[in-house]
Amino acid sequence: ETPLNPEYTFANFIQGRSNQMAYASAFGASEQPGVLYNPLLIYGGVGLGKTHLMQAIANKMLERNPNARIKYVTSETFVNDYVNSIRRGSQEQFRNEYRNLDALLVDDIQFFASKDETQLEFFNTFNALHDNNKQIVLTADQNPKQIPNLTERLVSRFVWGVPVEITSPGTETRIAILQSKAEEEHMEVPNEVLELIASKVNTNVRELEGALMRVRVFADLNHQPMTPQIAAEALQGMGFADNTPALTIDLIQKEVAQFFNINQSDILGKKRSKNIVVPRQIAMFLSRELTDNSLPKIGSEFGGKDHTTVMHAIEKIEANLKTDEKLNRDLQQLRQRMQ
Ligand code: ADP
Ligand code: MG
């Protein structure tokens, strides 16, 4: 038997579009066990809150009635218990344990697949509980209809109550989950950092929470406050970096040179012919727009030019953009190439 985690409550479960139905059904089941949704089956990918909601039902029922007989197991535990009962000749005890309950919660029923005898036993367990209006809660990693090697009659029982799907949370929900987690942990985290983590980690809630903790540890180890820069570095270490390498002045020069069919050395040089000067100005303009470099820094990377030269180039491009259609198109294309 697996103990319940008292931290899995409805109160600390953040609701969003992706889990609203699951939350409402679970809450309803906890309020009126065996009446509203029986069985309640929640399905969806890993780390999206199925176990949390399932245990929230148990915790809520126990809060209301500390004597409620509730059993929470994973489907593997059910299989093991059943196999052991056969081995020890203690099937009667097994049945007592699994049928004299107010609620039975079985997590991750996909592991019943291909275990035919266990499926038959669970079918009987299910019926015994259901006949007595005892609450059954199940989770699965996908719609039970899609789980291979699950007997038809078991599937038909599972979908008696309407199965509810839980999907990946959207950005706003991810930010809300991070805010709530930070608060729980008494962490002071700037909103920009939470937004950065939410934007990069869009897989599931478990990874989202893990990322927040990693960012904190990383900042601590480096004796730094939690800034977006530190967070980005920490996430990079976790493999959550965006794969596009950071844009550098050098890369911009190369792209622009290639685009206009000239050499990068021309851009760095001092030639005054128009077919060189315009690309050079464009490269300076884009370096200012697409990187964080200062004007003096840009100047030095363009063959040691003065920052006033860079400023002049930027002003010239800005002025021409107002009338020059081709320049607008060229810049648009260049930006796209460098995204
Ligand atoms: P699953 O069982 O679907 O794989 P879990 O229930 O184990 O996922 O959730 C993974 C982690 O994410 C847990 O720590 C859980 O508390 C947390 N979590 C998931 N969804 C939410 C949510 N909506 N609000 C707060 N925490 C959540
Ligand atoms: Mg789970």
For 219-274, how does the pLDDT look when each residue is reduced to its tens digit (9 = 90+)?
A: 999 999 999 999 999 998 887 765 456 789 999 999 999 999 999 999 999 999 99
What average pLDDT score do residues 66-76 get?
A: 96
pLDDT of residue 334: 92
pLDDT of residue 338: 80
> How much distance in Å is there from the Cα of 53 to the middle of ligand 2?
9
pLDDT of residue 237: 81
pLDDT tens for residues 311-320?
999 999 999 9
Nearest residue (CA) to ligand 1, atom 19: 49
pLDDT of residue 182: 96
Tokens describing residue 281 = 């100005």
Is the minimum distance from the CB of 209 to ligand 1 under 6 angstroms?
yes
pLDDT of residue 1: 61
Nearest residue (CA) to ligand 1, atom 5: 49
Structure confidence at residue 76 as a pLDDT band (50, 70, 90): very high
Closest ligand to residue 206's CA: 1
What average pLDDT score do residues 87-116 get?
A: 96
- For residue 53, the ligand 1 atom closest to its alpha carbon is 6
- The pLDDT > 90 percentage for the chain reads 90
* Interface predicted TM-score (ipTM) of this complex, two decimals: 0.99
> How much distance in Å is there from the Cα of 283 to the middle of ligand 1?
47
Is the minimum distance from the CB of 174 to ligand 1 under 6 angstroms?
no
CA separation for the pair 120, 266 (Å, rounded): 78
pLDDT of residue 239: 78
Residue with more model confidence, 292 or 105: 105
> How much distance in Å is there from the Cα of 46 to the middle of ligand 2?
7
Nearest residue (CA) to ligand 1, atom 13: 206
Is the minimum distance from the CB of 50 to ligand 1 under 6 angstroms?
yes
CA separation for the pair 307, 297 (Å, rounded): 8
**Best of 48, 106, 107, 172 for a ligand 1 pocket test (most atoms within 8 Å of beta carbon):** 48
pLDDT tens for residues 127-145?
999 999 999 999 999 999 9
- Whether the model clears a pTM of 0.90, i.e. scores above it, the answer is no
Residues 6+ apart with CB under 8 A from 62: 4, 68, 70
Tokens describing residue 256 = 């622009």
pLDDT of residue 247: 85
Structure confidence at residue 292 as a pLDDT band (50, 70, 90): confident
pLDDT of residue 238: 81
Q: Is the dihedral of CA 291, 296, 302, 308 positive or negative?
A: positive
Cβ-in-10-Å burial (0-12, 13-18, 19+) of 51 comes to buried
pLDDT of residue 244: 53
What average pLDDT score do residues 287-301 get?
A: 93
pLDDT of residue 31: 96
